[in-house]
Amino acid sequence: MLTRKQRDLLAFIHKRMQRDGVPPSFDEMKVALDLRSKSGIHRLITALEERGFIRRLAHRARAIEIVRLPDDLAAQGGGGFQPRVIDGDRPDTAQPDAALPSRARPVAVDAVELAVMGRIAAGVPIEAISEVSHHVAVPGQMVDRGGSHFALEVKGDSMIDAGINDGDVVVIREQDAADDGDIVVALVEDQEATLKRFRRRRGMIELEAANPAYETRILPPDSVRVQGRLVGLIRSY
C-alpha cells in the first residue's frame, strides 16, 4: 500500500519517463509534489524502492527504473507497462527457448531506423550539424508514428543530472515549438546547436543545463530556434 505522496511521485516519474525518456530531476519532483526540500523526495524515493516499485541504478546520475506500477495507476494509462531499462542477461544460445526463464525468452521487437545527424553539445555549444553520420535502430514505441524523428550523439556533461551522459544517443522528435521544461535541441543564432531544457521567462528564452557547473543561457527569442524535443535515449556500455 502506497501513501498518497508516494503514489503521486510514482505517477509523476512514470509520466515524465513516458514523455521524455528520462526521469525528472529531484528539483522537478519537489515542485510537482509541493514539498519544501529535496530531503522529502529522497525519503519518498527510498520508500518506493523498498516497496519494489522503483530501482535506483548505481553509478549513473539520477538513473531510476520503474519496476512496476500499482493496479489503479496502471489502469489509468500504464496498461501494458514494461520497465524502461532492459535486463542485459544473455541466455545460452544452445538452450532451447522453452527451457529459458521467462524474462530471457526472445521476443519480436518493433524497431525503427533513424538517421544520426552527428554530435550535439550538452555543454559548450558546437556548430549546427545537418549531415547524416550513420543510422541507429531504436524501439518503435520510442517514436510517434505521425512525427518525424532523428538521432544525435551527445557531447559533454551539462545534462548529466537529467540522466544524459557524454556519448549517449538521444532521439529527437522534429518540432519548432516547446513547452516550459522540455529538453530540446536549440539552434542559437543559426550557428550553434545545443541540448538544453527550454524555458520562457520575462520575454526571454532560457536554455538551462542540468549540471550546476554550467550557467543558464538567457537569450532573446529571435536568436533561438527549437529544432526538436527529446523523446528517448540510447546508451551503450
Question: Dihedral, CA atoms, 102, 52, 84, 164, nearest 10 degrees?
Answer: -140
Same-domain check for residues 63 and 141: no
Whether 8 maps to a domain, the answer reads yes
Q: How far apart are CA 123 and CA 215, in angstroms?
A: 10
Domain presence at residue 155: yes
Structural domain harbouring 170: 111-234
Q: Do 129 and 198 share a structural domain?
A: yes
The pLDDT value recorded for residue 53 is 85
Q: What is the phi/psi pair of residue 82, to 5°?
A: -130, 145
Which residue, among 183, 169, 181, has the nearest Cα to 227 in the 3D structure? 183
Question: Of 133, 155, 196, 223, which residue is the catalytic one?
Answer: 196
This prediction's pTM? 0.54
Domains of the chain: total: 2
Q: What is the CATH number of the domain that holds 38?
A: 1.10.10.10
Report yes or no on 201 lying in a domain.
Answer: yes
Assess whether 130 carries a catalytic annotation: no
Q: Which of 62, 78, 94 is the last residue of a domain?
A: 78
Are 12 and 58 in the same domain? yes
Phi and psi at 44, nearest 5°, equal -65, -40
Facing residues of 120 across strands?
Answer: 154
**Residues in the chain, pLDDT under 50:** 59, 78-109
Residues 139 and 69 in one domain: no
Q: Are 233 and 19 in contact (CB under 8 A)?
A: no
- In the residue annotation, 196 being an active-site residue is answered as yes
Q: Can you give the pLDDT at residue 124? A: 57
Instruction: Measure the CA angle with vertex 112, ends 111 and 116; round to 5°.
Output: 130
Are 182 and 120 found together in one domain? Answer: yes
Task: Give the pLDDT score at 183.
Answer: 95
| Residue 151, domain CATH | 2.10.109.10
- Number of other CB atoms surrounding residue 28 within 10 Å: 18
Q: Element (H or E) spanning 211, and its range?
A: none
Residues 129 and 24 in one domain: no
Q: What's the rounded Cα separation, in Å, for the pair 135 and 151?
A: 8
* Residue 105 belongs to a domain: no
> Looking at the structure, do residues 65 and 127 belong to the same domain, yes or no?
no
230 and 115 co-located in one domain = yes
Out of 25, 30, 155, 158, pick the active-site residue.
158
43-79 pLDDT, tens digit per residue, is 888 888 888 888 876 545 556 778 888 876 666 654 4
Q: Does 63 share its domain with 151?
A: no
Cα→Cα distances 110→73, 87, 142, 216, Å: 26, 18, 10, 38
Q: Are residues 62 and 119 both part of a single domain?
A: no
For position 125, what pLDDT does the model report? 54
